[in-house]
Structure 1
Amino acid sequence: MILGIENTSDYQNIVKNKNIGLVTNFTGLTSKFELTSEVLNQYGKVVKLFTPEHGLHGVAAAGENVDSYYDDKLKLDVISLYGGHQAPTESELSDVDIIVFDIQDIGIRYYTYIYTLLRVMQVAEKVNLSILVMDRPLPLGRENPLGDELTPDYFSFVGLLPLPNRYGLTIGELAEFIKDNYLPNLDLHVGHMINWNSRKDIRQNGLSWVSPSPNLPTFDALRLYSGLCLIEGTNLSEGRGTVRPFEQVGAPWINGELLAGYMNDDSKITQEGKLAFQPVWFEPLTSKFEGEICQGIQIHIKDTKFNALKLGYSVLKSMIHLYTDKFTYDLVSPSIGTNHHFIEYLAGKNIRSEMDLNELIDDTEYDNKGFKKKVEKYFLY
């Protein structure tokens, strides 16, 4: 298959002889690992880089403010959109003729790259600049939308659009959705992929898997993320700072054998054998419980058709049941919002009690067929 950046006939006239402001990071590569900026410089001139969460090279931790700087190797200003401001300023765009966006996304609502795209699109419409979004595949293929659409009361930078937890749109398709619903006067172009098989994952399509952020190093972590990201809003470690982020959960006060046994004995939690839970010990090198020995579970995927969101709710329910006196939700995250618990900004709903979680676990309508029907008109493949 051919990536949007590689389909040069689709966009070369759009960027020809223009000064380009490129929004990108370390995932902005061709299938042969050539930088997007190098490809664009064959037709126009990249004059400035803008970067999302984790920075240009993907080394900043989750939620860490990233500074702007001048890159001596690239001879370009690298302006952070995850620090002092979330969108380019008009002065930063004064020497730019067109904005190009090329970042690998994963199709999960909490993942902040899409909100960098939103902010950039909003500014582009305001200052009357065209924007070209280079399309890239959904890493696991086009899976059905999962979960409820986010309501405005829960909007934050981990959710600024009315999307379900997993929304099933490529970055180019999402850009079309944003323009159609919110930015009708924006001059949007999409660099289309060729021969993407949406029923296959990125490796089955013949591409290398380039991890899009520090804590999604494996396909299993990616499969678990739409549910296990909820753990970020609790006093549990979600495995950050270990070799298995989002594949293991724990805390210093957990008995791993007790937790694994409880979860393995419940067919609703194992989803009829699709998942298994191994008691583990681990010591995070960064993030929650840095330098402390934790016990917990490692999640083994037996069948990739499992429901990650239901798994996330099941972990929370298990913790409330077994560790009522120690397990808590983080109260607020001022950088995200102060009206709700952080976990509720992630979940998009009130999930404070075991009763709330039981209702969610028993809910059979996880696939959001209504959202899929609503957005099918934006499918490009």
Structure 2
Amino acid sequence: MLSGIDNLLANEKVLEKLRRRRVAFLTNTSCHTSTGKESFMALNEALSTSSKAGISTLFVPEHGYNLNISAGNVVPDVINDFKNINTYSLYGSRKWPTNDQLNSLDTLVIDLRDVGVRCFTYATTAALAARAALNEGLKVVICDRINPIGNNTDGPTLNPKYRSFLAYFYTPFIHGQTIGSLLKGLLKQHSMIENLSIIPYQIINYKDQKIFLPPSPSLQNAESIQLYPGLVMLEGTNLSEGRGSSLSFRCVSAPWLKSESLADEANNWPTGVQAEACKVKYSTGQYKGKILPAVKFEPNCLKCDGFSLGIHLLSWIANNQPEFIWTKSKFIPLDNKSFIDESITEENFIIDNLLGDNSLRLAISGKENPINIIDMWRN
């Protein structure tokens, strides 16, 4: 597998142009070349032969460059602390680069890993950064990567009422695209679209898997990425998806969970997932130091239906455990430049924000059969 960054580094003509420009890079440490080198290090070395001295600015998404900041937490700027390069956060006091930052640049290169689910924030960060760069006349280069869960789509299409940083693209929840195709579709009407270029990935031997690199702190293996489309919906409830334990995005847990009964039921669902009741110990988060009943999930086929698993889980627990509730949080409008706004008091159901629509919550609250719920979006 050759990703877009590999093909960029192999294109001396493009590299020579970049060496004559002031280049910023939006990436993190989860992005590597096929040889195992971090994308930032590889590109910086390739560009450092010129008087421009390689990459001049680093932009980082949620979790920071080193993936050491927990989900939802503000990522700070780091000035002159990363190979003497200013590192600016796009997940904190700003969601996209400022005009002052962009005015000192000529080109923005983007290499980020997506997981095929609309609420995973890297693609939104890439889109907002690319739009801001095009607005200022910069060239934008997207180093594309394969969608790890494939090109199938599923779930509700975005309802404009719920458009936010978590629900940005007008696609189904499971969008079936790469970051490159998402941005190309979103920005196709931009007056400076000719400044956007996408360097494609190339499948050489898909089975030739390298060591797994987590795209975010809580997605620690390939199984968690397969299950993420369904288990991420637990974040809109008082259930835990295992974040803070060794089973992050591989289990469902709560102090009151009837794990044995749930596991028995889950093994009869047509989701391609094996369920097992267990106990899970939390090392961080709200359950730090506690051991809770849980159900562990293992994909038993290459094409497990993680999204369907999530629908069945929410439906069964909502109908069988009176302790279950849908949780709420502040709704920050998309046009807010910052994630920090103490003036906002309006709250939305988190599940509606995640999915970009309220149809799932209403259907489950109305005790609709989970098969019928899934068919709403598949038929």
Tell whether the structures are fold-level matches, with TM greater than 0.5: yes
Q: How does 1:214-225 map to 2 (within 5 A)?
A: 214-225=217-228
**2:153: which partner in 1?**
145
Taking a change above 3 Å as real, the CA distance of residues 76 and 242 of structure 1, as seen in their structure-2 partners, is same
Q: Deviations over 1:135-177 (max 9, x none)?
A: 112224x331122211211112111111112212122222211
**1:332: which partner in 2?**
329
Counterpart of 1:344 in 2: which secondary structure?
A: helix
* Structure-1 separation of matches of 2:16 and 2:375: 46
**2:337: which partner in 1?**
none
Within the candidate set 163, 170, 194, 2:202 is matched to: 194
Question: Are residues 1:236 and 2:245 paired?
Answer: no
Deviation of 1:335 after TM superposition, in Å, equals 4.7
Deviation of 1:355 after TM superposition, in Å, equals 5.4
Within the candidate set 290, 293, 297, 1:292 is matched to: 290
Counterpart of 2:348 in 1: which secondary structure?
A: coil
Question: Are residues 1:361 and 2:361 paired?
Answer: no
**2:341: which partner in 1?**
none
Within the candidate set 65, 72, 77, 1:68 is matched to: 77
**Counterpart contact for 2:242–2:251, Cα < 8 Å:** yes
**Counterpart contact for 1:28–1:104, Cα < 8 Å:** yes
* Structure-1 separation of matches of 2:367 and 2:285: 26
What amino acid does structure 2 have at the position aligned with 1:246? F
Taking a change above 3 Å as real, the CA distance of residues 148 and 14 of structure 1, as seen in their structure-2 partners, is farther
Question: Unaligned stretches of 5+ in structure 2?
Answer: 334-343
* Structure-2 separation of matches of 1:73 and 1:305: 40
Counterpart of 2:157 in 1: which secondary structure?
A: coil
Deviation of 1:37 after TM superposition, in Å, equals 3.0
Taking a change above 3 Å as real, the CA distance of residues 355 and 35 of structure 1, as seen in their structure-2 partners, is closer
* Structure-1 separation of matches of 2:82 and 2:162: 41
* Structure-2 separation of matches of 1:178 and 1:354: 31
Question: Unaligned stretches of 5+ in structure 1?
Answer: 370-381
**Counterpart contact for 2:226–2:304, Cα < 8 Å:** no
Deviation of 1:243 after TM superposition, in Å, equals 0.7
Question: Are residues 1:2 and 2:2 paired?
Answer: yes
* Structure-2 separation of matches of 1:271 and 1:228: 16
**2:305: which partner in 1?**
307
Within the candidate set 120, 123, 127, 1:118 is matched to: 127
* Structure-1 separation of matches of 2:109 and 2:224: 29
Deviation of 1:363 after TM superposition, in Å, equals 4.5
* Structure-1 separation of matches of 2:230 and 2:174: 10
* Structure-1 separation of matches of 2:287 and 2:367: 26
Deviation of 1:262 after TM superposition, in Å, equals 3.9
**2:317: which partner in 1?**
319
**Counterpart contact for 1:227–1:312, Cα < 8 Å:** yes
Counterpart of 2:368 in 1: which secondary structure?
A: helix
**Counterpart contact for 1:148–1:368, Cα < 8 Å:** no
Deviation of 1:209 after TM superposition, in Å, equals 2.5
* Structure-1 separation of matches of 2:281 and 2:190: 46
% identical aligned pairs: 26
Deviation of 1:261 after TM superposition, in Å, equals 3.0
What amino acid does structure 1 have at the position aligned with 2:132? V
Taking a change above 3 Å as real, the CA distance of residues 193 and 262 of structure 1, as seen in their structure-2 partners, is closer
Deviation of 1:281 after TM superposition, in Å, equals 1.2
Q: How does 1:158-173 map to 2 (within 5 A)?
A: 158-173=166-181
Q: How does 1:335-346 map to 2 (within 5 A)?
A: 335=332, 338=346, 340-346=348-354
* Structure-1 separation of matches of 2:285 and 2:275: 23
**Counterpart contact for 1:230–1:343, Cα < 8 Å:** yes
Deviation of 1:15 after TM superposition, in Å, equals 1.4
Deviation of 1:56 after TM superposition, in Å, equals 0.4
**Counterpart contact for 2:311–2:374, Cα < 8 Å:** no
* Structure-1 separation of matches of 2:203 and 2:237: 42
Deviation of 1:196 after TM superposition, in Å, equals 5.2
* Structure-1 separation of matches of 2:367 and 2:16: 53
TM-score, normalised on structure 2?
0.86
**Counterpart contact for 1:263–1:277, Cα < 8 Å:** yes
What amino acid does structure 2 have at the position aligned with 1:191? I
Question: Are residues 1:183 and 2:186 paired?
Answer: no
Within the candidate set 204, 210, 213, 2:213 is matched to: 210
What amino acid does structure 2 have at the position aligned with 1:83? G
Taking a change above 3 Å as real, the CA distance of residues 164 and 184 of structure 1, as seen in their structure-2 partners, is farther
* Structure-2 separation of matches of 1:195 and 1:322: 45
* Structure-2 separation of matches of 1:302 and 1:150: 31
* Structure-1 separation of matches of 2:6 and 2:183: 19
Taking a change above 3 Å as real, the CA distance of residues 154 and 205 of structure 1, as seen in their structure-2 partners, is farther
What amino acid does structure 1 have at the position aligned with 2:241? E
**Counterpart contact for 2:153–2:176, Cα < 8 Å:** yes
**Counterpart contact for 1:150–1:164, Cα < 8 Å:** yes
Q: Deviations over 1:327-373 (max 9, x none)?
A: 1111223457946301111122231453546345324647769xxxx
**2:64: which partner in 1?**
55
Counterpart of 2:100 in 1: which secondary structure?
A: coil
**Counterpart contact for 2:330–2:347, Cα < 8 Å:** no
Alignment length, in residue pairs? 356
* Structure-2 separation of matches of 1:241 and 1:364: 29
* Structure-2 separation of matches of 1:191 and 1:263: 42
Taking a change above 3 Å as real, the CA distance of residues 315 and 364 of structure 1, as seen in their structure-2 partners, is closer
Counterpart of 2:311 in 1: which secondary structure?
A: helix
**Counterpart contact for 2:363–2:373, Cα < 8 Å:** no
Question: Are residues 1:81 and 2:90 paired?
Answer: yes
* Structure-2 separation of matches of 1:11 and 1:82: 30
Pairwise CA RMSD of aligned residues?
2.3
* Structure-2 separation of matches of 1:357 and 1:302: 28
